[in-house]
Structure 1
């Protein structure tokens, strides 16, 4: 990699600008000089040679677009002259050979986690309070108000003090001084917790459970069952109204299917059976307190890294994501897989164009066929409502160099590293096979991270080039920046900066090892991720159907 441009793959017919380049600038490449015809912002691409109309655009060695018009050598690629184009896919073509990375630095490492009776090991010890239907959200909020502060789990809100100071100035007639009020920096100061071995009590409000199609209610039951079974969860309190589509009994059936030997504390209360709200809430609070006291007896103990299940996510991506952050996370995933752990790659709309590569990496024909069917069905359902994967890039993605879905997908898939695909899961299915698992989710950041935790992820690596505040209630989310500028601008949300790959100061392998080191520290409770410090507890179930 030189300091100005990069050809990602020898087959590529475009170069990526690693810094802002000016029209008229001469770029030496492969024995010839390319004169830039346009200003090329960092992260954007320009043609290595003349690209005639309808010419396929190659990046990462695959097709990522097609030229709408003739694009001269040195011309910038944009949404005005390039449209989405992706390679088709079919059956598994070859047996896949994987050269696993060197794991000598990690083979004897462990993390300190919470050992569950079923053999899973949690990186945290959380109690859940979950409604089966949106009608119970208010009761969940009342329980939250009763518990969080009294048990020492509340997050400091520096803005309350800020508003208090401004109100005092306003009352005293010092309106002109309001602009001088500063906010305190939020830190992870330890709270005086009653239950020292419980990392938090989490409340998963949602808008589902009834009123939509039955498929969505069934998916919600499966998702909640997955959260209850997640190794980071010590126990749960479930509130049901009673008459809704998402019946708690159906959730219990899903839970028994996921884990026939489930034995964690589980409190299920139905308002229409309990009587008054006061009776419901009084019982829920008492039984939850007793359950948390029991969960507090659990302590962290050493566990092999093979007990980690790490979700792989990206959001607010930019033109550097596929060059620095995603392949660095991919290398960390490869290390984990080589150590016997599990990795989950999701966001199926952002795998458009790389399907054949993933199909060829599947260890069984059945998994390859399942992935193919899920991708085609998802694409067809999007097209049926007048959309499509080609509409995937957001305005922010496009502004920062990702101008087609295939271009975005080719970089996003790098989070999955190079290891074989050991299983393919539909939404809500729980991960069981060590290795790389593909999970069908939307590209929506929160819907995807929500799903991965429901499928058993006890950690989530989240790459971003533009910055995003996404977190998860039970699975620590570690934010990985693709560039220096973001890491410097938003240090409150970024845990690791892979911009050093772009500047040439570190290799992808070095960054991947650094990422796995961070995973181990956070998994052991030695550190908190920025999302944990900020209390970013995002939870959005995926609604595949329409509301009725």
Structure 2
């Protein structure tokens, strides 16, 4: 197996694909490089001597500036390199793009739920939506009732373990409680979007939350919603109705309940149960039917990234994204802090000045907001990222952006806007995994591809999340959270094209309801709205 990689011919650093010992000699770009210190796997080493202030290049773009002289063959670290990003502007140049080979994919289909607005869901959920955190307890009560009686409640094996300890028996063998059969075979679950917002913040916070909740109701994986309100909070029911009717144009059954209009909690919850049950009977009449892959809207996400993420998993996701877009589908790339350093490449792929300038405006407003509180995009990499070789935000960004493939940018959408254009859409979200996946599902994705190198259980409350590992060690170590091993591009004799076809087949199985993702099996129903503060 090759033990180093140079990503672009113009790069002046290489990536260690395995641990490299001091003194080892390589021929890279027809030049001999002797490593002058141990290089841990996933980290970078220099291909030439660098002076203080020199620019380090990866993926063909600037990713850092040296803080001190660095010898040829030396390790790149946070002590000798700081983040920089190249200047950018919309230039209006024609973008030459060769669509990928998709022969045969146009004939493939998945079994989905067809909605009135033309979208197709990969699942059929009913959602309970609180307008304010005051309703979270009511949702908890309803969750227990609906999941238990309708057959959606999952057994908790840890109750049995605890029962044994309570009874003084370390390895007790108890009979697992039998769960009720699913009442509605065409409903994949009842979901509850609990959150901590809706009141106490600014009116802008309330509107942002309302837009997100409206997006979840519009999501094709949702059959309809039961909305719970207290009555006096900032996020009012009429704001949600306006968003559904005007901004999102969602044609779904939605039930509304406001607690301050009822004499007792019991009176309201009884009405909630009766009305919702009738709508569930109607939603159950919808069944899966064949749909072309052009009806897929794929969210593109990464979290717990490592030094291989931008080499294996992210570029693989990019190939799949390009293929789905070439078929007429949509992909949505999020996490704007992780586009810092590759702005010019993004702008060169924008179709016109309107889209390009919108991207610039959102990026600069976000960056300025971070700087006002003493932060910045350069602070995005986590300790885990740095430990595994992502030394600067630009290095992380250059690898993260490859999830978007090479297709032209169809549209740039701000948080609160729904993706409607075919092709690659850029969605402004923070780099925070759950805030970002929450946004992807809220603004158009019906399935999410999520790359990780360090491992994360992240899922989503209404959208299947396919977890893709960047290295082959991770699925062996954390096998209950990984769905697909992209690390085989390094550890096995396989190609990106072969793995892309394999990943698309898995997407079809998940989208058709024939295969559950690890996050779905674990009940990882993550949902965290983004309050437009500084979250990187």
Note the 1:334-353 alignment, pairs <5 A: 334-353=322-341
**Equivalent-residue separation in structure 2 for 1:202 and 1:50 (angstroms):** 56
Q: Deviations over 1:342-395 (max 9, x none)?
A: 000010000001111111111122111100100000000000011000001000
Asked if residue 265 in structure 1 is aligned to residue 253 in structure 2, the reply is: yes
Asked if residue 199 in structure 1 is aligned to residue 198 in structure 2, the reply is: no
Q: Which runs of 4+ in 1 moved over 4 A?
A: 180-185
1:274 shift after superposition: 2.2
Asked if residue 414 in structure 1 is aligned to residue 402 in structure 2, the reply is: yes
**Equivalent-residue separation in structure 1 for 2:408 and 2:332 (angstroms):** 12
The 3-state SS of whatever aligns with 1:350 is: helix
**Equivalent-residue separation in structure 2 for 1:54 and 1:181 (angstroms):** 65
Native 8 Å contact 2:472 2:486 kept in 1? yes
Residue in 1 aligned with 2:292?
A: 304
**Equivalent-residue separation in structure 2 for 1:190 and 1:312 (angstroms):** 35
Q: 1:386 aligns with which of 361, 367, 374?
A: 374
**Equivalent-residue separation in structure 2 for 1:140 and 1:436 (angstroms):** 36
The 3-state SS of whatever aligns with 2:21 is: coil
Change (3 A) 1:326 1:181: farther
**Equivalent-residue separation in structure 1 for 2:180 and 2:34 (angstroms):** 60
Moved more, 136-145 or 249-258: 249-258
Note the 1:20-59 alignment, pairs <5 A: 20-59=19-58
**Equivalent-residue separation in structure 1 for 2:28 and 2:289 (angstroms):** 54
Residue in 2 aligned with 1:67?
A: 66
1:16 shift after superposition: 0.2
Residue in 2 aligned with 1:175?
A: none
Asked if residue 424 in structure 1 is aligned to residue 383 in structure 2, the reply is: no
TM-score under structure 2 normalisation?
A: 0.97
1:105 shift after superposition: 2.6
1:28 shift after superposition: 2.6
Note the 1:140-179 alignment, pairs <5 A: 140-169=139-168, 178=170
1:257 shift after superposition: 2.0
Q: 2:237 aligns with which of 233, 248, 254?
A: 248
Note the 1:95-494 alignment, pairs <5 A: 95-169=94-168, 178=170, 192-260=181-249, 262-494=250-482
**Equivalent-residue separation in structure 1 for 2:380 and 2:459 (angstroms):** 22
**Equivalent-residue separation in structure 2 for 1:53 and 1:241 (angstroms):** 60
Native 8 Å contact 2:390 2:396 kept in 1? yes
The 3-state SS of whatever aligns with 1:312 is: strand
1:91 shift after superposition: 1.4
- Structure 1 residue ranges without an equivalent (≥5): 171-177
Residue in 2 aligned with 1:505?
A: 493
Q: Deviations over 1:239-291 (max 9, x none)?
A: 0111100011101111112443x332110110111231111111111111111
1:489 shift after superposition: 0.5
Change (3 A) 1:10 1:431: same
- Structure 2 residue ranges without an equivalent (≥5): none
**Equivalent-residue separation in structure 2 for 1:224 and 1:30 (angstroms):** 52
The 3-state SS of whatever aligns with 1:428 is: coil
Native 8 Å contact 2:150 2:180 kept in 1? no
1:338 shift after superposition: 0.3
Count of residue pairs brought into register by the alignment: 533
Moved more, 160-169 or 232-241: 160-169
**Equivalent-residue separation in structure 2 for 1:190 and 1:504 (angstroms):** 42
**Equivalent-residue separation in structure 1 for 2:422 and 2:479 (angstroms):** 33
Native 8 Å contact 1:216 1:545 kept in 2? no
Moved more, 90-99 or 470-479: 90-99
Native 8 Å contact 1:330 1:512 kept in 2? no
Moved more, 26-35 or 230-239: 26-35
**Equivalent-residue separation in structure 1 for 2:351 and 2:97 (angstroms):** 11
**Equivalent-residue separation in structure 2 for 1:511 and 1:379 (angstroms):** 36
The two structures, once aligned, show a CA RMSD in angstroms of 1.7
Q: Deviations over 1:482-504 (max 9, x none)?
A: 00100111110100001111225
The 3-state SS of whatever aligns with 2:149 is: coil
Q: Deviations over 1:399-418 (max 9, x none)?
A: 00001000000000000000
